[in-house]
Amino acid sequence: MSFSSMSKANVRRHVLEKNKVLKEKEKPAQSSLSKNLKRIYPIGLQRSGSSLSLSSLSLSWSQNSNDSSLADSTTPLDQKISLALRLIAPPERREAPVDKNAKQQSQDTGTGELKRCNWVTKNSDQVYVAFHDECWGVPVYDDSQLFELLAMSGMLMDYNWTEILKRRELFREAFSGFDPNVVAKMGEKEITDIASNKAIMLSESRVRCILDNAKCILKIVREFGSFSSYMWGYVNHKPVINRYKYPRNIPLRTPKAEALSKDLIKHGFRLVGPVIVCSFMQAAGLTIDHLVDCYRYGECVGLAERPWRHI
């Protein structure tokens, strides 16, 4: 065998041994990769054509992090995977702790009752408790329902919520379900009948005010498409979520309520001062003002953040 042939054989043998050593070194990394990927995806990876590949994991790195170490080729593979796992893990820490209050918090009395805003007491009338639990702070997008809540908020000039809510069905019957198209067409006879009804307890001036507001709503509908679009436009079509811990922190009027009140008056509405409008916004869910430790806070926030909300 010539020197040249021996040299070639030696070179070939050297190359084969080197490749063998490299393959042995790659096995732990591949094993580590497979083990860590199974923590992410509880199914086997396909050789090709699978979205659950290292390339898709790399996409998580590039889209979800600004950490330059993820793109550093000198970073150990296990460290990269560890970082990627943290990036794509469910964002448990981002959840508002108040969400845990929903449906599970109890009163300090140990009676097992749900924790509510502390202005709802054991002496509160059941109709008021039901309004707090089912309606107050729930986003409303129906024109008739918004009209009803605006009218009832205006009645706070004369009565409290409990007194108003006890006569709610009577109001609905008298004002045809607060359909603005019907209410706007009511005449003197309807005004007299409603004002003379002692069970309803509304003065003639208050009745006329509600009728006039119905006519204003029809003008709003012609200009903005719906009363709902107009109202929700003042909060950019997304409820304002507040985080009040104590009743004393909740303002009687807000800048948004003042701006809306001013514009409502400009459009001819009556009984729509800033305090009344602020109460209306709370009731209609334009603002979420449940106290943060109330079980309804998390539920109303969830409704406020729903992806299918009205736009």
Strand partners, 287: 240
The DSSP bridge pattern shows strands 287-288 and 240-241 to be: parallel
Q: Is 290 annotated as a binding residue?
A: yes
Q: Is 310 annotated as a binding residue?
A: no
The Cα 260–Cα 43 span in angstroms is 55
b/e 31-45 (16+ beta carbons within 10 angstroms → b): eebeebbeeeeeeee
Q: Is 132 annotated as a binding residue?
A: yes
Mapping DSSP to helix (H, G, I), strand (E, B) and coil, where does residue 291 land?
A: coil
Between the CA of residue 281 and those of 22, 71, 90, 292, what are the distances in Å? 69, 49, 34, 18
Q: Is 135 annotated as a binding residue?
A: no
Query: Which residues are annotated as part of the binding site for Zn(2+)?
Result: 117, 132, 290, 294
Annotated binding site: 117, 132, 290, 294
